[in-house]
Structures are given as structure tokens and as C-alpha cells.
Amino acid sequence: MGHFIIVGILVVVMAILTYVGLDAAGVATQMHPIEASLQSVSIDWLWNWEIMAISFLFALIVVPMAYSMIVFRRKKGDPSEGEHFEGNTTLEIVWTVIPLFAVLALAYMGSYSLGETRRVDPNAIVIKVKAQQFAWTFEYPEYGIVSNELHLPVDQQVVLKMESADVIHSFWVPEFRVKQDIVPGPLTDYRITPILVGDYKVRCAELCGASHAYMENNVIVDTKADYDAWIAEQRAIALANQTPEGQGKLLTVKNGCIGCHSVDGAKMTGPTWLGLFGSNAELADGTTVVSDEAYITESILDPKAKEVAGFSPTTMPPYTLSEVEIANIIAYLKTLK
């Protein structure tokens, strides 16, 4: 009996120490990235219960194991065998049935928590999200705004109508917790209610190709006033951008071009656009070509026709754009010097 009492006490101590230790490591009461959405609250609540259960079960197995390893080790020169008992049906039933109920309780809590993350607000703001290799684009249909930054008002549910242009992507802002894949084909809904003003990042969580690691865009949760100001500013820019250059820039955002082409000279998956127009491009076959209207048009419509040296075989899909749209993009490229 003595062994059981000591082990029992040690299990309790160890369980508490494990929980406290995990909490100190920042993984218990919170999953650490700050809770920035209403949905994260119920997820972290469930997580905390799970860490408590894990701490207890860890202690429940490890303590009697360690105790046996020390106390029941074979002493030097002791030839005898261990105590002979083959099992205990009551005990087996106990440790089958109790876990069964524990598991059902956990599943119930899981269902409850899932329900909380799925609560629908009929007045949610609708924002369209387009994912493609390797950038996110956000469209505010009410205001005719297209942006590569996602601005959200605090304490207001938004529903993102997400679509993919190519492969599977996954929308994940760690501070929001909830993650949702975007599969080519149907639109996917993603509901979130930000509760904390701040700057975050959406990071693609489903492997989507060579630059998957860099498929990150800013997500900014604004106060209601800041959000309105941003909307007004973007509308003004949209109106001012009725020029060909402005429209061209908008098209490069909308089509995700800037996921692979930088405008500041940085080397990304594709060549930078800084100073591109009019320059000489060295091609993979050794020839050079002047980056004029004809060449750029060809490269948009049929990217594989002339591949630039120093880049891997292109993964850029052909884009079907109208003549006017291409002219606008070229007008924009001319401004990048």
C-alpha cells in the first residue's frame, strides 16, 4: 500500500509541476500569439483544458514508471524474479471505461468550442479574397477597392469569400487561430471577428510551391474610425487612379503579379520591374531582347515564349488580359525607374 500512496502523491505533484512548467513556457493558458479574434478565445479555453489533461496523464504514466525504475530495479547479485501477477480484469475495465467517458467529455467540449468559432453574424462585412501563387489580394466590393493589405474593423464580424486562382492555399493569421484552406473551384467562407487592434500577417499554411514561405500579406485591424478613414483614402486613390498608370498598378495588384515581381529591385521568383522597361533582358538561350511593348506583351500572354536567364523555368501562368489592360500595365511599368 505504501508504494501506492507515495506514487499517488508524486503524481499530483508532478501533474501540477508539469502544468506550471508548460504555462511558464507560454503554452498553457494561452497558445501564445495574442488572442486577436473572438474565435481564438474559445479555442484557447479548450486548449487550456487539454494542457491540464495532458499534464495529469503525463504524470500518471511517467511517475509510476520512474518510481518502478528506481525502487524495483534489480539489486546487484539478486537472482530472483519479479512478483508474479498476470493482470487484473477490474483494473483493465476501469482504465478502459474512465478514459471512454473522459474522451466523450473532451469531444463534447470540442463540439462546443467548434460551435463558438462558427457563430454567424448576419451583418458581417463581406470581403473577397483571391489567393494565388504567391500573393493575396483583397477586394472590398462595396467600395470598389482592391488592396494587397487586408484592413478589418475591430469588433465586427467579417466574412471572407475566398477563391484560389491555381493551387490549394490556406488562410491563416496565427493571432486569429482559425485556418481555412482555399481549394480551386468553389468559394470558401471564412468568418472572423477581430477583437484587438494591431498589425498581423496572413501566412499561407498549405504548401503551394517554390515561394510558399513568402506568401504573406499584412492584415491590419483598425479602430472603426481608422478603418473608415482607410476606406475613404482608398476610394480616393481608386478614383485618382483612373489614369492608365493607376489602372495598371491596380491590375498588377489584382492579378497577384507583385507576388513574384518586385518594384524595388529585390530579387524574387521573377525579374524585378524596377528599371525593366527599355532595358536589355538576357534570355536563357543566350540572346538578348529589348524589354519594349512587344516583348512585355508577349511575356504576359505567353510567359514561356522567352525566358529570362538566371531564373528557373517559369511557373508563371499565361494571363488573358485585354489590349487596354496590357497597355495600362506597361504605362505603369514605365513609371518604375
Partner 1 sequence: MKKFFSTALARGLVWQLIGTLVGAGLVTGIRAMMGLSITDTFFFTEPAWVLGAFFGVLFFLAGNGSVSDWFKWSRGIDTPEHHEDHYTGWEKYLNVSLDHKVIGIQYTVTALLLISIGGLFALIFRTELAQSQLQFLTVDMKLFGQNGPQLYNTLMSLHGMIMIVSILLGIAGIINYVVPLLLGAQDMAFPRLNAFSFWIAVPAAVLLLMSLVLGGFDTGWTGYPPLSVRAPVGVQMFFLGVAAAGWSSILGALNVIATIIRMRSKGMTAMRMPIFVWAAVATSIIALTATQLIGLSFQLVMFQRLFGMGFFDPAKGGNPVLFQHLFWFYSHPAVYVFVLPGLGVISELLPVFARKPLFGYRWIAMSSMGIALVGFLVWAHHMFTSGMNEYLRVPFMYSTLLVAIPTGVKFFSWVATIWKGKLTYPTPMLFVLGAIVVFLLGGLTGPPNATVSVDLHLHDTYFIVGHFHDTIFGGFVFPFFAALYYWFPKATGRRMNETLGKIHFWLMTPSFFVLTFGMMQIGLLGMRRRIVDYDPALGFDSTHLVLTIAGYLIGLSVLIFIYNFFNSIKNGEKAEGNVWNSRSPEWQVPSPMPVHNYDQPFEVVGEPYDYGLPGSKYVEFSSPAKSKHK
- How near is the Cβ of 68 to partner 1 at its closest, in Å? 4
Please list every residue from 263 through 322 that binds partner 1, using CB under 8 A. Answer: 267-269, 310, 312-313, 315
Cβ contact 148:190 at 8 Å:
no
Cβ contact 288:281 at 8 Å:
yes
Binding of residue 130 to partner 1 (CB under 8 A): no
Among 191, 194, 206, 257, binds partner 1 (CB under 8 A): 206
Distance CA 178, CA 42 (A): 11
Closer residue to partner 1 in complex, CB, 26/318 = 26
Please list every residue from 143 through 172 that binds partner 1, using CB under 8 A. Answer: 166-168, 170, 172
Looking at the DSSP assignment, which residues form a beta bridge with residue 138? 129, 147
Closer residue to partner 1 in complex, CB, 36/296 = 36
Among 132, 157, 180, 234, binds partner 1 (CB under 8 A): 180
C-alpha cell at 200: 498581423
Binding of residue 217 to partner 1 (CB under 8 A): no
Closer residue to partner 1 in complex, CB, 14/145 = 14
User: Which among 148-156, 209-217, 248-256, 274-282 is the span making contact with partner 1, rule CB under 8 A?
Assistant: 209-217
Looking at the DSSP assignment, which residues form a beta bridge with residue 281? 289
User: How many CB atoms are closer than 10 A to CB 273?
Assistant: 22
Among 16, 149, 197, 214, binds partner 1 (CB under 8 A): 214
Site string for partner 1, 80-119 (x = CB under 8 A): xxxxxxxxx--xx--xx--xx--xx-xx-xxx-xx-xxx-
Binding of residue 33 to partner 1 (CB under 8 A): yes
C-alpha cell at 41: 478565445
Phi-psi region of 44 (alpha: psi -120 to 50; beta: other; left: phi over 0): alpha
Among 8, 141, 144, 186, binds partner 1 (CB under 8 A): 186
Closer residue to partner 1 in complex, CB, 103/301 = 103
- How near is the Cβ of 185 to partner 1 at its closest, in Å? 3
CA-angle at 109, arms to 28 and 33, nearest 5°: 30
Binding of residue 23 to partner 1 (CB under 8 A): no
Say how many residues touch partner 1, by CB under 8 A: 93
Closer residue to partner 1 in complex, CB, 178/327 = 178
Biggest alpha carbon–alpha carbon distance for the chain: 94
Rg (CA), the chain: 29
- How near is the Cβ of 159 to partner 1 at its closest, in Å? 15
Tell the residue number behind the cell numbers 525607374, with chain if given: 337
Binding of residue 35 to partner 1 (CB under 8 A): no
Distances (CA, A) of 149 to 140, 200, 201, 212, 234: 11, 10, 9, 18, 11
Binding of residue 201 to partner 1 (CB under 8 A): yes
User: Which among 119-127, 136-144, 198-206, 298-306 is the span making contact with partner 1, rule CB under 8 A?
Assistant: 198-206
Phi-psi region of 310 (alpha: psi -120 to 50; beta: other; left: phi over 0): left
Residues near 331 by beta carbon (within 8 Å), at least 6 away in sequence = 243, 244, 245, 248
Distance CA 153, CA 226 (A): 8
Cis before 134? omega within 30: yes
Please list every residue from 42 through 61 that binds partner 1, using CB under 8 A. Answer: 42-43, 46-47, 50, 53-54, 57-58, 61
